[in-house]
Amino acid sequence: MMEPIVQYKDIHKSFGDTHVLKGINLDIRPSEKIAIIGPSGSGKTTIIRLLMTLEEPTDGDIIVDGTNLWKMEAGGDGKMKKANEKHLSKVRNEIGMVFQHFNLFPHKTILDNCVTPLVQVRKMSKKDAVELSRQMLDRVGLNDKYEAYPSHLSGGQKQRVAMARALVMKPKIMLFDEVTSALDPELVGEVLEVIRDLADNEDMAMVLVTHEMDFALEVADRVLFLDGGVIAESGTADEVINTSDNPRLQDFLRRFR
Ligand code: ADP
């Protein structure tokens, strides 16, 4: 089996007195598609925010491509010290994220929403950035919207821009945090369709927090059921969603199917 691209090692996360994650161990392998399901408040978003370095673990290690996110070698002596911003941003470059709320730049065109990070963060030439951004906007079906502003788009279109903006960075792993839950029901399909296409045709690993069980069954190689701060069930989508006899999981699934 291929080496994991991400490893969570006994990760704990508390917010004040609330112990949200109680020892998460998780390997994500290159090109693996993982769905995380579980009740509201079980810590699904926290798991992926930790990987995006938007939260710092209370305890445990997260290793991305062999590099510890929050600790780095102090010197030649093998000792570790707290990571600095430069160290974090290097690791962050490998990870793309799409949020429930699109987080687009409202005053920039769709094209510039994609071009700006490439030029500013990746130091790409404007010309190359425009070319790559157009390719990715075409990929998500927005080839006629380059010059539109976010406020003129539907929620589904905005979410597709958010995906293009993450894709131009060529991440090794893409995180999707309930990307359809803020959308009107009739717009959910077009967004799932793009994710399905990416899952089928792209090599990158994908982690999806989702309440769309049929979608998880279709695209995920592995499904994790998060409950009570731990991964309570883990297996193929069919094992977890269709055949598990875990009563907490069955109760959860009844509410979402
Ligand atoms: P899920 O995505 O499964 O709904 P979350 O990861 O969003 O769960 O949240 C898990 C728990 O952590 C919830 O009880 C939530 O209120 C709490 N939580 C999340 N982020 C914060 C924060 N920044 N400050 C305080 N509590 C938080």
Give this complex's ipTM: 0.97
pLDDT of residue 183: 87
Q: How many CB atoms lie within 10 A of CB 48?
A: 23
Average pLDDT over residues 92-113: 91
Q: Which helix (H) or strand (E) holds 138?
A: helix 126-139
Q: Which residue, judged by its Cα, is nearest atom 7 of ligand 1?
A: 45
pLDDT at 86: 82
Ligand 1 contact, 228 CB (< 6 A)? no
Any atom of ligand 1 within 6 Å of the Cβ of 18? yes
Which of 18, 22, 44, 207 to probe ligand 1 with, by most ligand atoms within 8 A of CB?
Answer: 18
Q: Which residues pair with 5 in a beta bridge?
A: none
Q: 42, exposed or middle or buried, with CB in 10 Å at 0-12, 13-18, 19+?
A: buried
Contact 102, 161 (CB under 8 A): yes
Residue 41 CA to ligand 1 centre (angstroms): 6
Tell me, using a 6 A CB cutoff, whether residue 45 lines ligand 1: yes
**Residue located via tokens 């502003």:** 149
The pLDDT of residue 257? 67
Whether 41 is in the pocket of ligand 1, judged by its Cβ within 6 Å, is yes
210 CB near ligand 1 (under 6 Å): no
Q: pTM of the predicted model, to two decimals?
A: 0.92
Widest Cα–Cα separation across the chain: 58
Which residue type is seen at 138? Answer: D
Per-residue pLDDT reduced to its tens digit, 151-210: 999 999 999 999 999 999 999 999 999 998 888 888 889 899 999 999 999 999 999 999
Coil/strand/helix, residue 216: helix
Listing DSSP states for 74-137 in one string gives: -STT--EEE--HHHHHHHHTTEEEE-SS----TTS-HHHHHHHHHHHTS---HHHHHHHHHHHH
Average pLDDT, the chain: 92
In terms of Cβ atoms closer than 10 Å to its own Cβ (0-12, 13-18, 19+), residue 174 is buried
